[in-house]
Amino acid sequence: MSKKHLEKYLYSEKPLTYSIILDFKENDFYSPYRKNFSKPDMLKKLKREILKFLLNKKELNSLTSAKKLNIFGFQELGNTNNEDVFIIGYPKSGNTLLQHIVAHLVFGLRKDAPKSLINSCVTEWYNNPMFFRHEKRHFFKSHELPDEKFKKVIYIIRDGRDAVRSYYYMQKNLGKNVSLDDLYSSGGKTFRGTWASHVDKWTANKYKADILYIKYEDLLKNKRNEIDRICSFLGIERTDQEIKNVLEATSFENMKTMEKSYSWSRMKSFKDWKKEGNFVREGKSGGFKLEDNLKKPSLDNFISASRSMLEEYKYL
C-alpha cells in the first residue's frame, strides 16, 4: 500500500482506528466494526508502524501525544458541531442505560460489547480529554446544564426521590462520606446543582435546543416505545430484529452480566470503586419508598424544594 493510499484510508469516514486505540482484552472484540486481531499487542504495534510509515523520525518525535491522536481522527473533547447529540440528565437518572441504548441502536453492537467500546460510541463528557469521531455526528453523555453548544439533546428524567437515592449509593461505592438525609434535605445537591434546578433549567430550554424528553420510568415500562421515539428523533430506521437485539443488550440482566466483565471492572478501578459495589443496582422505580435509612423529614424537605418539577412530570 502506498503512502498516498494509506493516508486516504486513514482520513476516510471509516478509518482503521475503529479498533486501534481502544483497550480490549483478547476476547472483548465486537462486530461488525473490529477486525479479529489475534493478539491485543498487535493493535499498539499497528498504530506505531502506521505512524512510522507516514512520518519520518524527526517529525514523529516532534509530535505531542494529542497531535499523534489527531492523525488517527481523534479530537479534543469540546470540539463539537451542530449535528452532535448529547445524552444529558441529572446524575443517576438512567443516563448510562440510555448511553447503552443509543450505542447499540446506532452502531449495531453485539450484546457483549465492552464498556470501552460503548464509551467510544457515546463518549463520556468528563473522563476523556480526547474522543474518536466515527462519523460527522457524534454522541456524548453528560450531566451538564444548558449551553448553546448543546444543539440536539436527549434529556432523561427520573423521579428525583429515586435519582437522589441512587446517587447516594454511588457516592458510598466511591468511598465518599455522604449522608442520605443531608443529600435529600439539600434537594439532591450535586456538582451540577439540585435535582429540581437541573430539570427546571432543561425544561425551560434557554438556548432553544432540539430536545427529546424521556422518562426513566417509561423506559422501564415500555422500552420498545421509547426506542421508536429515539429512532424518530435521530432520523434512523431499524428492523424489528435490530430493535430486539437492542432490547436484549440493554436488559437489566445483560447489563448486570456486562458489569462483571473486564472492561467494566477496569473502568471502575480508575474511580476507586468498592469491589463489592454495583453500578447497575436495581433497575426499578420507587425504591425510595422502601429506604429504611431515610428519615421522613428529609424526604419532606426534598419534596418541598422540588415540588414544581415533581408535579410537572407527574411524580406527584
Would you give per-residue pLDDT tens digits along the chain (316 residues)?
Answer: 344 443 443 333 333 333 333 333 333 333 333 333 344 455 555 555 555 555 555 655 655 555 656 666 778 888 899 999 999 999 999 999 999 999 999 988 888 888 888 888 899 888 777 788 888 899 999 999 999 999 999 999 999 999 999 899 888 877 888 899 999 999 999 989 999 999 999 999 999 999 999 999 999 999 999 999 999 999 999 999 999 999 999 998 888 787 766 455 555 554 565 555 555 556 667 778 888 888 999 999 999 999 999 999 999 9
| Strands 74-76, 130-132: pairing kind | antiparallel
The CA dihedral of 264, 270, 276, 282, to the nearest 10 degrees, is: -50
Residue 110 exposure: Cα atoms within 13 Å on the Cβ side: 12
C-alpha cell at 11: 482520513
What three-state secondary structure class fits 193?
A: strand
Candidates 219, 225, 224, 226; CA nearest to 284 is 219
Domains and CATH numbers, the chain: 3-72 (no CATH), 85-312 (3.40.50.300)
pTM higher than the cut 0.85: no
pLDDT value, residue 33:
35
Q: Decide: 233 and 248 in contact? Cβ < 8 Å.
A: no
